[in-house]
Structure formats: structure tokens, C-alpha cells
Homo-oligomer: A and B are copies of this chain.
Amino acid sequence: MRKYAIGLDYGTNSCRSLFVNLETGVEVASHVYNYPSGQMGVIVDPRDPNVARQSPADYRAGLIEIVVQGVAKAKAADPAFSPELVVGIGVDTTGSTPMPVDRAGVPLALRPEFNGNPGAQAWLWKDHTSHAEAAEITALAGKMRPQYLAKCGGTYSSEWFWSKVLHCKRVAPEVFEAAFSFVELCDWIPALLTGVEDPLALKRGVCAAGHKALYAQSWGGLPDKEFLGALDPALAALRDRLYSTACTADVPAGELCATWAKTLGLREGVAVAVGAFDAHMGAVGAGCCAGKLAKILGTSTCDLMVAKSGQPLADIPGVCGIVDGSVIAGYYGIEAGQSAVGDIFLWFVNNLVPESFGASPGAKFGALDDAAAKLKPGESGLLALDWNNGNRCVLTDVRLSGLVLGQTLHTSAPELYRALVEATAFGARMIIDRVRAYGVPVEEVITCGGLAVKSPFLMQVYADILGMPMAVAASDQTCALGAALFGAVAAGAFADIEQAQKKICRIRERVYQPIPENVAVYGELFALYRQLHDGFGTAAWNGNMGNVMKALIAIRERQR
């Protein structure tokens, strides 16, 4: 009998469903719902660019539409499909995107008395209003609990759970008072589907807990009350209303409840997996496994790796997060990334490329790709640092900036474009070299995201600089595909995620293989990149340049 699973993927501006045939791996249908609230689904504040909230009502309305419409499309596309054949549902979302909920698990935003109160909405991952609280948490942890910082790259972020909750307490005390608990979006959707109303009963995912809420089994779950109480006694009290264990996403959160089964037109009792973040499930959908790094190549990048757990894994300095089970159960999930990749190319094309290369940004990209592909490594004499948006890994320093050197009076735009692409690949290599040095094997890269498909030139440069094959995931929707796989495993359709990946995940035919002579030249260029990286990125000593970028930023801030 055929089986299908549904992946539900909640992004920043929309959510989507993906219906997957578990025998063939065919993605039979998909439906997208654009959030109606705010600006493209994001509730902003014209007076404060840091504000980014979302409406739980959008999530709920989207849930109905993407499944109901998806079922209709699946029926149309695949005569063998029937809603009865759906065995599992998996959910991935952005994060950390916590919501205050009441004792019955209802988001406060859905209660009339909090209508229009931004503190009661979901606090979207890219909300940066709590930067002061993040600094406070980092400072306190540095003093009281340095082990907390060691697993998250040394700095607690304003994008993360505790910063947001503490900021909510300060700026919207009426919301905090009314909140029985706070629930991540990735945990709330499965709770909704399974009809688990009690916030104390709903299953929490280890991905959000570990990467964003400082949860780890090794120190007994969430941060201890002494630490939380030092931030605010109310946080220590909240700890009892959160959770003490968190689950991997192959575990069922429960079964589809009668109410939602009817609403969605699915069978009651379908397995619903515990939720996780989009990047993590996307890595699974791309085929990430031990030795295969999944790289999501977009405006920034997210690199996900796994390493067999069981034996302790050392903290890896400068790597954003290491959480046992956050990608695949039985493996440490290791998350790294670069703060700007596609964004650097877009900046260059939008600001520094004449129209002679094309009338639109897309045409310019095409012309630059073609011209840059004709150059040999090192031929331009250029070398760049990929720090236009700071450095997330391995320096974890936002007060850094871009650098290009080697310009002559003949340097062309395609040469500079190639140098910027190379810089991002060198940055990628820094991350891989670092995790390898700490015993994490990386033998191949599987990419997904627009750039991987659009630019064969870029993929070849990456293969040559990383010295590894670069594959491209076959699916255009690896996040939703990964979510579907977790739904399938939770339903027992596969023994585990690895088996599901073997059956379902595909790469595209063209795998970019490193070209030995290019690898050799890039080896020389990488040594020079490292010299710039360490010289400008680390503390000043003797003749090095560690002060230069910071001094310029300090002057810039004073002068603006």
C-alpha cells in the first residue's frame, strides 16, 4: 500500500506544504500560503527597525489552507493519492520564534484583550529588540556559567529565546504576567495538530531548546534557577512552567486529533512528529549525514553537520551551536554559517556594476558569471575578505568589515565579482577546517538554495577551494521534504531518518568535482586569505592589523 507524508514548512513570509510519496520520493503536491499580516507577514514598527513579530492567526489560517489545498492538488496530480494514505506529518519553522501562551496553550495574541499588543504576538527570529538583554545574558553567563557560552559560539544572541522573553517582561509586563508559558512556533504547530492544550504536556523539540534556550542534558536541561534568577526572579519562576526534557524530531509529538483531522480532511491518528528549525530539517532533506555537510546557500549561509554522539565532542571555538540530536537523533547537530554570502554579491551588483553588463540585476549576474568563469584562479591578482556583514564563524565578531586588495588600473567588475565569490568560499573553508580540527569529518558538501542551482561557476569555485565534491540537492524544497521525512519516521514508515534519507533524498546529476590544478593554486591563495583573516580578525600584536577595522567602525559611528 502506498504511503505519503506531509512536510509543513513555516518560513519568514509564507508557509508551505509538501506531499511526498514515500515509496518513490516523488513530491506530488505543494501549496504556499503568504501570511496576510504586516509587511509580507512581518509585523514591523516604523519607529524601531528591530521589531519583527508575526501573528499566530496567520500560522493557523495558513495551516488549514496549505493542507486542504495540498490535498486537492495531490489528488489532481497523483490518481493513487488519497488522504487516507497520509501516515505522518512533520513540521519545521523559523526560530527562535517564541509566543506567550495562556494556561490552555492559547497564544495571548489570539485573545481579544491583547489585540494589537505587539508583545503578545510571536517574536520572529529576526526581531532584534532584545539586544541589551542578549548582552546582559552573555555577560552574566561569562561570569556565572561559562559552559553555556561554550556551546553557542561564545555569544548569546538577541535573536534567541531568553533574550526575547526577558525583553517581553520589561517592555510588555502585562503580557508576561498573563503568559503561563512561552512556546516556540516549531513546538506549537505539532501541539495544535495533536490537540495537546496544556503547555506543560506539549512535547518540546531539542533543536529549538538546545540551539536557542541553552538547554542541554549535561547541565540538567534549561539554565538553572540561580542563573535565571540573577537575570530576573520572574525567569526563575517561569522555568517551572517551561519544560525539563526536549525530544528529537523523529519522536511523535502525538496523533492528529479529531478536530484537526476533520478540518484538514485527513485521517484521525496520523503521526505528527516533534518540530524543529527549517535549516535543520532542510539539512536532512538535502541528505546531510556523517561526513556530508549540508550547506544552505542564500543571502547568508547555514552549514549543518552531524557527528556520532555517545562519545563527548569538544566545544568547537567559533562555531555557533552544537546540540545533541538537533538534526538527527544519535548525532550531535553542529550548526555554523556565514553572515553574508549572496548578500555580498547582491550588494556588489546593485552598487558597483555598470549597466553595460545588463539592464537588470539578474542580467548583470548572468554576465558576471559568464565572464568570471573564464578567468583562472589567481589570474586577477585580487584577494578579498567576506566580512561585509561581520564574521559569524569562526571569529564571531560583528565589528569586522570587507576588504579587497590587488586592484590595478585594469581591474574589471567580473574580476572583483570572482574575488568576492572566492572570498565566501575561503570563509566556508575556514569553517570546515575548524570543525575538522575538532574531529568532525567532512568529505562532501550537499548544497541547496537558489545560488547552488543558478551559478555553476560559483559551485566550481567552491569545489576547487574546498577541495571536495559539491553536490546539489535534487529537491527545491529541502526543508519541507526534511519535515515530511520526520513525519514518516514518527509514523514508523522508516526505521530511522538515515533509512528515510536513503530512500527519498536525491542529488542532481551534476556533481562539481575539484579540478586538481585549481585546487593547487587556491591552496596558495587560501594561505594568503588566512594571513589576512588572522591579521585583521584577531587581536592586535606586533605588526598585525587587528585594530584597523574596529577603529574605522568606531570612527564611523562617531561621525554618523
Asked whether A403 is an interface residue with its Cβ less than 8 Å from the other chain, the reply is yes
Instruction: Report yes or no: B549 in contact with A405, Cβ–Cβ below 8 A.
Output: yes
Instruction: Report yes or no: B402 in contact with A388, Cβ–Cβ below 8 A.
Output: no
Residue from B352, B385, B408, B535 within 8 A of A352 (CB atoms)? B352
Instruction: Report yes or no: B560 in contact with A545, Cβ–Cβ below 8 A.
Output: no
**Residue picked from A344, A377, A543, most chain B C-beta under 10 Å:** A543
| Contact residues in B for A351 (Cβ distance below 8 Å) | 354, 411-413
Give the interface segment out of A257-265, A322-330, A457-465, A550-558. Answer: A550-558
Asked whether A138 is an interface residue with its Cβ less than 8 Å from the other chain, the reply is no
Asked whether A416 is an interface residue with its Cβ less than 8 Å from the other chain, the reply is yes
Asked whether A378 is an interface residue with its Cβ less than 8 Å from the other chain, the reply is yes
Asked whether A208 is an interface residue with its Cβ less than 8 Å from the other chain, the reply is no
One digit per residue, 1 when the CB lies within 8 angstroms of any chain B CB and 0 when it does not, for chain A 277-306 equals: 000000000000000000000000000000
Give the interface segment out of A63-71, A233-241, A523-531. Answer: A523-531
Q: Which residue of B lies closest to A385 (CB)?
A: B405
| Contact residues in B for A389 (Cβ distance below 8 Å) | 408-409
Q: Which residue of B lies closest to A525 (CB)?
A: B555
| Contact residues in B for A548 (Cβ distance below 8 Å) | 383, 405, 528, 531-532
| Contact residues in B for A43 (Cβ distance below 8 Å) | none
Min CB distance A191 to B, Å, is: 38
Min CB distance A520 to B, Å, is: 11
| Contact residues in B for A388 (Cβ distance below 8 Å) | 407-409, 411
Asked whether A401 is an interface residue with its Cβ less than 8 Å from the other chain, the reply is yes
Q: Which residue of B lies closest to A347 (CB)?
A: B409
A354 to B363, CA, bound (A): 14
Asked whether A313 is an interface residue with its Cβ less than 8 Å from the other chain, the reply is no
A385 to B548, CA, bound (A): 13
A25 to B30, CA, bound (A): 84
One digit per residue, 1 when the CB lies within 8 angstroms of any chain B CB and 0 when it does not, for chain A 405-424 equals: 11111111100100000000
Which of chain A's residues 492-547 have a Cβ closer than 8 Å to chain B? 521, 524-525, 528, 531-532, 534-536, 541-545, 547
Instruction: Report yes or no: B416 in contact with A521, Cβ–Cβ below 8 A.
Output: no
A383-B552, A545-B531, A556-B380 given; A404·B406 CB < 8 A:
no
Min CB distance A535 to B, Å, is: 6
Given contacts A402-B406, A403-B407, 11 further A-B contacts (CB under 8 A): A351-B354, A376-B559, A378-B558, A378-B559, A402-B405, A402-B407, A403-B403, A404-B407, A406-B553, A531-B547, A544-B544
